[in-house]
């Protein structure tokens, strides 16, 4: 069938050319229109429920909100994980589904079950499904700067910028942070209220009843009808003050008679500061799951460009995070490597073939295979990202393997005198190598298939690599058997018999001498081979193991942890001080934007003690330090002067991915499961202490053993009753003193403004005594101190409570630097086993990057042997014999030798990318062995004696073996020296392949002929 494909392409050259032209056009269009992002979609199918429970402590949120919701959410079809976090006044519930689940189906399931439990939740609990987003959805961030106050900037952000951006295609939502949300504030005079006999509840009821528009129906007006509207809604402060609360014989009591009416702001649960200057407002644009990030960012920029001229005078947008920059840098890194590799491949082809025509024919296979790959990527719904384009970069040296073998054989055959036509000779010469070419490419495809079986994050990252490589290799095989023979028939026409290229004239005699010496000293060769295996085994034990190298996103995110009971104003002051220190002492940082507390949507529910500081950096060529690690160390040194804070260092996407996987932000997440809070807190503190003492830990963080202070007001029901107050009225009075009591809302144009009763706005509530003196008004105007009917008492409670699949756990996070994560965990596990005994009913789970690495290693250890078995079966089918198949498989361990030694000497860790490099190396080693052994067996089939066949076969296949190995190696050299984002993932792979090809090629050319001569065929007689 494959020979018929070759003959058809040669017989119908113009049709083949027309198909090639169509592929060029379709490929170029596919490349231009491919979705572009920095990374593939790595998030599982996840649905988040964000529920706000004002005034509830974490324990109350856990018991009254999370537990009933979890009971309804557990056991949904396709559910893989249920994770919950209870913090003050907020519940964050994440439900993960299998990858096969459609996101809209999953949201429908969650929505349906939530509807059945929503009625059982306490009054005042609000919220629901979060936007359809992923950890990669924070694609654009900016602040609004200007002379306007925080309330005005927040108003513009809420009612001008946010609605406009939400209309951009691909935007899921816009998260607004910082500033002050404007309110109509009623500040009651409690003495006046008491004198008038008006309770706080009556004031609220009157305000809500006096703030309403309604329709009364239709009234006849002659032949027409008029729609009747009754207008009574509040639109101004004067309207609010004129609302009548009560009418007595002495007259009416209006709101303005017993209270001050003014513009105020809602209680704040967070803030944003920038540049050490002070507070500002920030917007985070959240991309829709599956959207083309590059196009969405372009749409956002276009919409902001339209909006900016309409903003108030002096107000400017300050963009500090733009995902398109990371996309451009990451994709640009790979594209540059691809271009450089293509140039190196062309140079090598010229050196080995010694004929620009032959080199041109082979070179054509590169862009054509890439264009065909882009067409297939679009058909399969793949995006152009760091990983998929990285797969193409990995395969660039392999894409020409088929063409190299075909053209090399054509050049050899055409250099001989033959009366048959050139077309016939090209068809026959191509037919000679169809089997090794097709089998070799199929073998390489087969070795990459195990990557498709990877699970979790590693599967989502490296499946695009494997798919792209498979598509590219399939395209290269098609081209090697169609376009390459046709072009050879045209371009190589007139090629006369000639001498060997300059490079081969020098390599052939040297190789013959080496092979002769190897035959004469076979024991020494065997000893060197075995010694190399032993050395590689030793090196393997010295190479550390990690999941993935840290990808440089071009930004630094500093996370600050402060005392859990810190107040908002003090937390803001601390953030500003930290920003000023960093900007003054670290010249590489150009700006710092800090966010503390909870955001509006609740996607990242932090407390007032938690801050994320985004550091904008200069271009790396302007740094005074060598790399990111040195920069982080410099920042860490600068922050050491700030007592009372615990900084940790990460990056925006890295942080979100860690949160997605484990609900935490560290390299290592240690989860301690158990029933009792006090025991979990004790164990978390003990585990954290052991992790800090283990070499390699830079930061170890846990809030499980932290407590936050609460002022608990225990209400005396009898005392409250004697004062004419219910428990709810006492609680409303306390809320009005602090956060404010909601009393409806009003509209100002298109915006809604909350109406809030705030009895404590004009007095201090910073102390227990002030709160105890809060006046409460009972029935008939009786006034009583809050402290007389509610006993204030300081108590300590947990900062947050976490569940996983319905079980409570405590979390300890660790950031590891300077050593491999697997070695660190092994040491930490030994220390904890010896020093932290676990009571019955408690267990420890090791998660984070370590869990990912273990899962990937386990999966590869299962599927790689199956792939090797498949390769062995394919070799047996190709040769129809066991011995040559076994000999080729014997080359695999020797190929691994160079890869392991290269990792060890380079100081790199064995990671998933390095494992992908070993997989690629395995395929190339088998391909080179196949090329040599197949030709030796071809000579034997022609009756050539074994010794002569081995010698001729080795000499004849020197050029194709060297070409495939050197092209594959040099094709990866640009990745070895690349420095942009994404190069950290590609570098270990390139080190393994290049190092492995050195030993694999040497042993294929020297050891394989010796082994075949001795064991390749059964002895006759």
Inside any domain, residue 928: yes
Q: Binning pLDDT at 50, 70 and 90, where does residue 765 land?
A: very low
Single out the residue in 615, 632, 650 at which a domain terminates: 650
What is the tens place of the pLDDT at every residue in 208-225?
A: 999 998 888 888 888 889
Phi, psi of 741 (to 5 degrees): -105, 120
How many angstroms separate the CA atoms of 892 and 925, rounded?
6
Say yes or no to pLDDT of 428 above 50: yes
Q: What is the pLDDT of residue 683?
A: 92
Q: What is the pLDDT of residue 281?
A: 94
Single out the residue in 754, 781, 798 at which a domain terminates: 798
Q: Binning pLDDT at 50, 70 and 90, where does residue 1021 land?
A: very low
646-670 mean pLDDT: 77
Q: What is the pLDDT of residue 318?
A: 93
- Two structure tokens written together for 667: 């390299």
Single out the residue in 650, 676, 698 at which a domain terminates: 650
CATH number of the domain where residue 406 is located: 1.20.1640.10
Assign 797 to helix, strand or coil: strand
Inside any domain, residue 101: yes
80-95 mean pLDDT: 89
Q: Which residues touch 977 (CB under 8 Å, ≥6 apart)?
A: none
C-alpha torsion 8→13→14→16, nearest 10:
60
Least confident of 259-273, 868-882, 968-982: 968-982
Say yes or no to pLDDT of 417 above 70: no
Q: What is the pLDDT of residue 495?
A: 45
- Any bridge partners for residue 317, and if so which? 144
Q: Binning pLDDT at 50, 70 and 90, where does residue 188 land?
A: very high
How many angstroms separate the CA atoms of 811 and 79, rounded?
23
How many angstroms separate the CA atoms of 769 and 81, rounded?
46
Residue 514 shares a structural domain with residue 634: no
Residue 471 shares a structural domain with residue 517: no
Residue 14 near residue 107 (C-beta atoms within 8 A): no
Q: What is the pLDDT of residue 333?
A: 77
Assign 569 to helix, strand or coil: helix
Sign of CA dihedral 242, 243, 245, 250: positive
Say yes or no to pLDDT of 883 above 60: yes
Q: Which residues touch 526 (CB under 8 Å, ≥6 apart)?
A: none
User: Which of 1019, 1016, 913, 925 shows the shortest CA–CA distance to 394?
Assistant: 913
Residue 386 shares a structural domain with residue 425: yes
Residue 15 shares a structural domain with residue 59: no
CATH number of the domain where residue 48 is located: 3.30.70.1430
Residue 944 shares a structural domain with residue 990: yes
User: Which of 560, 591, 556 shows the shortest CA–CA distance to 574?
Assistant: 560
Residue 617 shares a structural domain with residue 635: yes
Inside any domain, residue 698: no
Q: What is the pLDDT of residue 280?
A: 94
What is the tens place of the pLDDT at every residue in 559-576?
A: 898 888 888 889 999 999
What is the tens place of the pLDDT at every residue in 709-735?
A: 888 889 999 888 888 889 988 988 888
Q: What is the pLDDT of residue 494?
A: 46
- Any bridge partners for residue 143, and if so which? 282, 318
Q: What is the pLDDT of residue 27?
A: 92
The full 3-state SS of 276-337, as one line of letters, equals: CCEEEEEEEEEECCCCCHHHHHHHHHHHHHHHHHHCCCCCEEEEEEEHHHHHHHHHHHHHHH
Inside any domain, residue 336: no
- Two structure tokens written together for 995: 């190092």
What is the tens place of the pLDDT at every residue in 928-946?
A: 888 888 888 888 888 889 8
- Two structure tokens written together for 313: 């005078």
Q: Binning pLDDT at 50, 70 and 90, where does residue 7 land?
A: confident
Inside any domain, residue 821: no
Q: Binning pLDDT at 50, 70 and 90, where does residue 586 land?
A: very high
Inside any domain, residue 460: yes
Inside any domain, residue 12: yes
Residue 534 shares a structural domain with residue 589: no
Q: What is the largest CA-CA distance in the chain?
A: 131
For the stretch 491-520, what's the b/e string if a residue is b when 16 or more beta carbons lie within 10 angstroms of its beta carbon? bbeebeeeeebebbeebeeebeeebeebbe
| E strands in 8-154 | 45-52, 79-87, 90-97, 126-129, 138-145
Neighbours of 18 (CB within 10 A): 11
Radius of gyration of the chain (CA): 36
Say yes or no to pLDDT of 493 above 60: no
Proportion of the chain above pLDDT 90, given as a percent:
28
137-145 mean pLDDT: 91
Q: What is the pLDDT of residue 663?
A: 59
Least confident of 16-25, 243-252, 671-680: 243-252
Helices (H), 693-778: 717-722, 727-737, 768-772
Q: Binning pLDDT at 50, 70 and 90, where does residue 603 land?
A: low
Residue 40 near residue 465 (C-beta atoms within 8 A): no
Assign 482 to helix, strand or coil: coil
Q: Hunting for tokens 């009792």 — which residue is that?
A: 676
Beta strands 556-561 and 278-287 are unpaired
What is the tens place of the pLDDT at every residue in 69-84?
A: 999 998 899 899 999 9
Q: What is the DSSP letter of 62?
A: I
CATH number of the domain where residue 767 is located: 3.30.2090.10
Neighbours of 239 (CB within 10 A): 17
Residue 354 near residue 500 (C-beta atoms within 8 A): yes
User: Which of 835, 950, 831, 820 shows the shortest CA–CA distance to 884?
Assistant: 950
Per the structure, the complete domain to which residue 88 belongs is given by: 44-132
How many angstroms separate the CA atoms of 73 and 82, rounded?
8
Residue 910 shares a structural domain with residue 998: yes
Q: How many residues does the chain have?
A: 1021
Residue 511 shares a structural domain with residue 494: no
How many angstroms separate the CA atoms of 92 and 605, rounded?
7
Secondary structure tally for the chain: helices H, strands E: 37, 30
- Two structure tokens written together for 786: 């809050």
What is the tens place of the pLDDT at every residue in 663-714?
A: 566 678 899 999 888 899 899 989 999 999 999 888 888 876 677 888 888 9
Assign 556 to helix, strand or coil: strand
Inside any domain, residue 949: yes
How many angstroms separate the CA atoms of 831 and 380, rounded?
49
C-alpha torsion 167→170→172→175, nearest 10:
-70
Least confident of 171-185, 486-500, 559-573: 486-500
821-837 mean pLDDT: 91
Q: What is the pLDDT of residue 263?
A: 92
- What is the rounded average pLDDT for all residues in the chain? 86
What is the tens place of the pLDDT at every residue in 301-353?
A: 999 999 999 999 999 999 999 988 888 887 787 778 778 888 888 888 888 87
Say yes or no to pLDDT of 581 above 90: yes
User: Which of 184, 132, 182, 127 shows the shortest CA–CA distance to 157?
Assistant: 182
Q: How far apart are the first and last CA of the chain?
A: 39
Say yes or no to pLDDT of 596 above 80: yes
How many angstroms separate the CA atoms of 810 and 801, rounded?
8
Residue 598 shares a structural domain with residue 474: no
Residue 69 near residue 90 (C-beta atoms within 8 A): no
Residue 641 shares a structural domain with residue 768: no
Q: What is the pLDDT of residue 572?
A: 93
Residue 518 shares a structural domain with residue 590: no
* Residue 145: exposure state from Cβ atoms within 10 A (0-12, 13-18, ≥19): middle
Proportion of the chain above pLDDT 70, given as a percent:
96
Q: What is the pLDDT of residue 73?
A: 92
Least confident of 178-192, 354-368, 988-1002: 354-368
Count of structural domains, the chain = 5
User: Which of 897, 868, 884 shows the shortest CA–CA distance to 1002?
Assistant: 897
Q: Hunting for tokens 């049709």 — which residue is that?
A: 15
How many angstroms separate the CA atoms of 580 and 623, rounded?
19
């Amino acid at each position: 069938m494959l020979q018929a494909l070759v003959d058809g392409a040669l017989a119908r050259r113009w049709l083949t050319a027309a198909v090639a032209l169509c592929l060029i056009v379709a490929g170029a269009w596919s490349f231009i229109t491919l979705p572009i992002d920095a990374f593939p979609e790595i998030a599982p199918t996840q649905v988040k429920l964000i529920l706000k429970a004002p005034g509830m402590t974490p324990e109350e949120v856990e018991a009254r909100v999370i537990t009933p919701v979890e009971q309804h959410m557990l056991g949904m079809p396709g559910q893989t994980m249920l994770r919950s976090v209870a913090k003050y006044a907020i519940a964050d519930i994440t439900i993960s589904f299998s990858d096969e689940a459609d996101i809209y189906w999953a949201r429908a399931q969650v929505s349906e079950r939530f509807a059945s439990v929503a009625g059982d939740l306490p009054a005042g609990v609000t919220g629901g499904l979060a936007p359809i987003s992923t950890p990669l959805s924070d694609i654009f961030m900016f602040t609004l700067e200007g002379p306007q106050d925080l309330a005005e900037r927040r108003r513009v952000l809420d009612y001008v910028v946010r609605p406009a951006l939400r209309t951009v295609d691909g935007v899921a939502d816009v998260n607004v942070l910082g500033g002050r949300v404007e309110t109509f504030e009623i500040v009651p005079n409690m003495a006046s209220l008491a004198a008038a006999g008006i309770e706080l509840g009556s004031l609220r009821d009157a305000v809500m009843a006096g703030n309403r528009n309604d329709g009364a129906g239709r009234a006849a007006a002659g032949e027409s009808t008029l729609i009747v509207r009754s207008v009574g809604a509040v639109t101004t402060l004067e309207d609010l003050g004129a609302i009548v609360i009560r009418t007595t014989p002495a007259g009416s009591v209006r709101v303005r008679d017993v209270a001050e009416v003014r513009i105020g702001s809602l209680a704040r649960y967070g803030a944003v500061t920038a540049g050490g200057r002070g507070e500002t407002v920030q917007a985070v644009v959240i991309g829709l799951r599956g959207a083309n990030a590059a196009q969405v960012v372009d749409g956002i920029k276009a919409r902001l460009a339209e909006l900016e001229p309409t903003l108030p005078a002096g107000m400017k947008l300050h963009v500090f995070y733009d995902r398109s920059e990371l996309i451009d840098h990451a994709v640009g890194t790979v594209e540059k490597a691809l271009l450089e590799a293509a140039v190196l491949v062309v140079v090598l082809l010229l050196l080995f073939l010694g004929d620009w025509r032959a080199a041109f024919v082979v070179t054509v296979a590169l862009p054509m295979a890439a264009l065909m790959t882009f067409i297939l990527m679009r058909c399969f719904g793949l995006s152009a990202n760091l990983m998929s384009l990285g797969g193409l970069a990995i395969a660039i040296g392999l894409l020409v393997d088929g063409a190299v073998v075909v053209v090399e054989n054509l050049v050899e055959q055409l250099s001989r005198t033959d009366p048959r036509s050139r077309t016939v000779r090209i068809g026959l010469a191509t037919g000679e190598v169809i089997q090794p070419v097709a089998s070799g490419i199929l073998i390489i495809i087969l070795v990459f298939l195990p990557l498709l079986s990877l699970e979790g994050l590693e599967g989502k990252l490296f499946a695009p690599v494997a798919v792209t490589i498979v598509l590219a290799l399939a395209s290269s095989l098609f081209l090697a058997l169609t376009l390459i023979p046709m072009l050879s028939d045209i371009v190589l026409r007139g090629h006369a018999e000639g001498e060997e290229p300059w490079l081969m004239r020098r390599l052939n005699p040297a190789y013959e001498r080496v092979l002769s010496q190897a035959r004469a000293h076979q024991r020494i060769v065997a000893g060197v081979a075995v010694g190399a295996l032993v050395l590689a085994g030793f090196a393997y034990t010295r190479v550390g193991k990690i999941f993935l190298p840290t990808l440089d996103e071009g930004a630094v995110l500093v996370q600050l942890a402060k005392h859990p009971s810190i107040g908002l104003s003090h937390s803001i002051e601390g953030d500003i001080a930290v920003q000023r220190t960093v900007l003054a002492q670290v010249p590489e940082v150009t700006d710092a934007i800090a966010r503390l507390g909870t955001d509006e949507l609740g996607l990242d529910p932090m407390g007032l003690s938690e801050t994320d500081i985004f550091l904008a950096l200069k271009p790396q060529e302007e740094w005074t330090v060598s790399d990111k690690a040195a920069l982080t160390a410099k920042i860490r040194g600068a922050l050491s002067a700030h007592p009372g804070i615990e900084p940790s260092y990460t990056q925006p996407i890295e942080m979100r991915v860690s949160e997605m996987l484990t609900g935490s932000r560290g390299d290592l997440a240690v989860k301690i499961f158990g029933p009792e809070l006090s025991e979990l807190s004790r164990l978390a503190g003990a585990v954290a202490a052991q992790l800090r003492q283990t070499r390699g830990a830079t930061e170890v963080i846990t809030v499980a053993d932290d407590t936050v202070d609460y002022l608990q007001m225990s209400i005396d029901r009898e005392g409250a009753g004697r004062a004419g107050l219910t428990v709810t009225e006492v609680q409303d009075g306390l809320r009005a003193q602090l956060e404010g009591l909601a009393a409806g809302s009003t509209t100002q144009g298109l915006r809604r403004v909350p109406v809030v009763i705030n009895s404590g706005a004009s007095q201090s509530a910073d102390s227990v005594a002030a709160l105890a003196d809060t006046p409460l008004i009972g029935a008939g105007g009786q006034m009583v101190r809050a402290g007389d009917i509610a006993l204030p008492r300081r108590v300590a409670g947990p900062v947050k409570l976490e569940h996983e699949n319905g079980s409570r756990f405590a979390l300890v996070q660790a950031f590891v630097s300077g050593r491999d994560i697997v070695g660190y965990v092994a040491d930490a596990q030994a220390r904890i086993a010896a020093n932290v005994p676990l009571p019955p009913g408690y267990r420890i789970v090791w998660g984070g990057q370590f869990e990912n690495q273990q899962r990937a290693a386990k999966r590869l250890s299962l599927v790689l042997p199956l792939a090797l078995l498949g390769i062995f079966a394919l070799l047996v089918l190709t040769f129809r014999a066991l011995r040559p198949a076994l000999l080729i498989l014997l080359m695999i361990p020797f190929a691994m030798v160079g890869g392991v030694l290269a990792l060890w000497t380079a100081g790199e860790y064995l990671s998933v990318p390095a494992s992908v490099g070993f997989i690629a190396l395995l395929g190339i080693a088998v391909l080179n062995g196949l090329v040599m052994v197949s030709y030796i067996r071809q000579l034997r089939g022609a009756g050539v004696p074994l010794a002569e066949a081995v010698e001729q076969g080795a000499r004849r296949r020197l050029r194709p073996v060297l070409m495939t190995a050197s092209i594959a190696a040099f094709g990866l050299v640009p990745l070895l020296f690349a420095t942009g984002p994404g190069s950290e993932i590609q570098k270990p792979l390139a080190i393994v392949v290049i190092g492995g090809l050195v030993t694999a090629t040497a042993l294929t050319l020297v050891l394989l002929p010796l082994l075949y001569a001795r064991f390749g065929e059964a002895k006759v007689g």
